[in-house]
Amino acid sequence: MGQQAKAYNTSIKSLKNHPALFLPFIIFAILEVITLIIIYLVPQMPLRLVLGPVIRTFWGERFLHYPANFLLLPKLASLSRMGLAVIFSSLLSGVAVALVFAVYNKKQIKFKEAFRAALKKYSSLFIVVLIFTLLFYFLVRLVTIVLVSYFIAGHSRLLFLKAGLWMGPILSAINFMLALLIQSAFVYAIPLLIIEKQKLIKAVIGSFVLFKKLFIPTLILVGLPMLVYIPIIVLNSKTAFLIDKVFPEFVLWVYFFGIVISSLLIDPIVTVSTTFLYLLNKEQGIGL
């Protein structure tokens, strides 16, 4: 059995036999849903008084009115998720890794102890997720700006392909690959911080080293669950079409189901399986 298959099977059994492993991810999903509801209600009073000026300043007055507010909803929800990830998911991911470590050692799951262990490392967890998030955000922005600049300059094709393909499915594929590679490179930093209690810089470097050693298994464990999210990515890129051809509120439901898929399916599988992969390889002496 391959490394990734053993880690995957172990993680699925653990999630099935220990539902408490889902708790950190359920908490984050609740935070996301609350934030999504707030974004949806921004055009209405009293939220319009508080957040309306921000929308008006950065994106324009029209996005405070129905149905144009739904055009902006995916972008606001995405930015909000990045903020929530840095502030809350960093801590909750540490909690999840501590819970997995307890399951691996056949110990009783104690959420309070896992929370305290993660809280002690919160500053390092925060910085790791912040670096990961900013790196992904700016690389995606850079790729988009380069492509837009290229086609605005008057070019109609790039590598024999039209602008529509590059700015649509190809750009989405590039963003997907960037997310996969960046997340895979940083995925072992949290286990190293929580399980090995390493310092920040050593944990980040160690994550890169482990990613290099476990390159294919890591890409499989991180990438396969992410494939489930592709339909949501496609739908979010077709916001104007959904508003025109279906109904505006459909955009809200798409993002809601995106939260369910990402926070309650993808994140648990990726976090638990990669932590088990790390622990299994540590047991065999293939760690750092």
pLDDT tens digits, one per residue of 192-205: 999 999 999 999 99
In the chain, the percentage of residues whose pLDDT exceeds 70 is 98
Report the DSSP beta bridge partners of residue 162.
157
Q: Among 114-123, 256-265, 276-285, which is the least confidently predicted range?
A: 276-285
- Residue positions counted in the chain: 288
Most confident of 14-18, 124-128, 165-169, 281-285: 124-128
Q: What is the pLDDT of residue 257?
A: 92
Question: Which DSSP string corresponds to 163-189?
Answer: HHHIIIIIHHHHHHHHHHHHHHHHTTH
**pLDDT band at residue 147 under the 50/70/90 scheme:** confident
Of 101, 114, 126, 26, the residue nearest 274 (C-alpha): 101
Higher pLDDT, 209 or 248: 209
Asked if pLDDT for residue 286 goes beyond 60, the answer is no
Mean pLDDT of the chain: 89
Decide if 258 contacts 230 (C-beta within 8 A).
no
pLDDT higher than 70, residue 231: yes
pLDDT mean over 58-70: 86
Confidence bin at 235 (pLDDT 50/70/90): confident
Closest CA to 144 of 164, 174, 179: 174
What's residue 285's pLDDT?
63
Q: How far is CA 251 from CA 128, 183, 217, in A?
A: 31, 27, 35
* Arithmetic mean of pLDDT, 55-72: 87
Find the helix packing angle between 215-227 and 171-186, rounded to 10°: 130
What average pLDDT does this structure show over 113-122?
A: 94
- How far is it, in rounded angstroms, from Cα 263 to Cα 260? 6
Q: What is the mean pLDDT of residues 83-104?
A: 95
Q: What is the pLDDT of residue 126?
A: 96
Residue 227 has pLDDT above 60, yes or no: yes
In 3-state terms the chain splits into helix, strand, coil percentages (rounded to 5) of 80, 0, 15
CB atoms within 10 A of CB 224: 15
Handedness of CA 152, 156, 158, 163 (dihedral sign): positive
Average pLDDT of the segment spanning 238-266: 87
pLDDT score recorded for residue 207 = 95
Residue 146: how many other CB atoms lie within 10 Å: 10
pLDDT of residue 170: 84
- Residue 133 — pLDDT band, cuts 50, 70, 90? very high
Q: Is the pTM of this model over 0.85?
A: yes
For position 279, what pLDDT does the model report? Answer: 92
pLDDT confidence band for 95 (50 / 70 / 90): very high
Distance CA 101, CA 97 (A): 6
CA 67, CA 263: separation in Å to the nearest integer?
Answer: 27
Out of 100-104, 153-157, 266-270, pick the least confident: 153-157
pLDDT at 4 over 80: no
More confident of the two residues 51 and 207: 207
| Mean pLDDT of the 133-149 span | 91
Q: For position 45, what pLDDT does the model report?
A: 83
